[in-house]
Structure 1
């Protein structure tokens, strides 16, 4: 298995970096065929307060989420910190409805790469793949495999995935949707955040949302 080659996008240039590691790729959110929300983790109120009201009171942002799910089967939310103090991340909205599967979230890579990984998860699930805890996901990236971890962080739906939670409740469900975090390894050593000796930058790029 070839390890990941992409440095966490938020890492400051001055931060300690293992010898031979690429300079960071700094993500900037832009619209992409109706799939990517240009939301900032800290300053963007839209990411925090999309609530999904009744049909007659839906905001343009709410309608866009619903339109994407109706047209493509899911919607992708990309969130980044303009000051690069926290990892950027991308998560799904709509897997629960379209696929009867958990939503997915991934941190610390370039926006386009994370979107492509989640699109491949959607494709595999639509083709019949079942979700199990702690399973390896191949084919999401040509250079590495991901491990899917069941997310259970107390701030999962307030800080990280409020749009997915709002959509879940808009569909008439109680509680919260199931979520899987995709975790990737360091590109030099192939070590995951829970492995002894894993690079600090790889660990810092992927907040531990799993239990």
Structure 2
């Protein structure tokens, strides 16, 4: 059990909440480091993804998510991004940044809330209730084209969902199959 007071996250609520080992690890990491990174490895059903929990609690920054790379790579990228946010380089919708993946820019895009339940359950549980802001950190293909650019590698669109598009309007794929 975990017990705290004040806002609406698990570190601040004034109620006892049962947590499994994963939930306890997340709470400990947010308390000790300022954030946690939850990694979902790829499997036979589709590509993996990773996302932060605690950036809002600690830094009043939107949480961040990445898709389609190896889970450990995304985890390292999100830790690097969180360090940059802590240093004052905040996420800005649509702005390229070069401090997440070596030799490649990334772009932050605001995630439509219709995706939250399918992809970010741990964060929803941690914060106890929406609204919660997420930004997708989108990476380019080998020649620097993003999924929305003409001529980008087709596999890039399969690996990274366009979460700024409502789930019901998104092209069918592994991401739209998630409950």
1:186 aligns with 2:141: yes
Give 1:58 shift.
Answer: 2.8
CA contact (8 A) 1:165 1:176 kept: no
CA contact (8 A) 2:48 2:69 kept: yes
Q: Distance in 1 between matches of 2:103 and 2:111?
A: 24
- Map of 1:72 onto structure 2: 33
Q: Tell me the TM-score normalised to structure 2 length.
A: 0.79
Alignment RMSD: 1.7
Give 1:199 shift.
Answer: 1.1
1:57 aligns with 2:18: yes
Give 1:82 shift.
Answer: 2.5
- Map of 1:208 onto structure 2: 162
Give 1:74 shift.
Answer: 0.9
1:145 aligns with 2:68: no
- Map of 2:4 onto structure 1: none
1:132 aligns with 2:87: no
Unaligned runs of 5+ in 1: 1-51
Question: Secondary structure at the residue paired with 2:127?
Answer: helix
- Map of 2:126 onto structure 1: 167
- Map of 2:151 onto structure 1: 197
1:88 aligns with 2:43: no
In the TM superposition, what whole-angstrom CA distance separates every residue of 1:112-154 from its partner, at most 9, and x where no partner exists? Answer: 2111111111111111123221111212111201000011051
Unaligned runs of 5+ in 2: 1-9, 166-179
Q: Distance in 2 between matches of 1:207 and 1:153?
A: 14
In the TM superposition, what whole-angstrom CA distance separates every residue of 1:132-189 from its partner, at most 9, and x where no partner exists? Answer: 21111212111201000011051x22110011111111xxxx42310000001111x2
Return the structure number with greater relative CO, CA threshold 8 A, min gap 6.
1
Q: Distance in 2 between matches of 1:186 and 1:149?
A: 17
CA contact (8 A) 2:37 2:50 kept: yes
Question: Secondary structure at the residue paired with 2:105?
Answer: strand
CA contact (8 A) 2:42 2:70 kept: no
Give 1:86 shift.
Answer: 1.5
Q: Which runs of 4+ in 1 moved over 6 A?
A: none
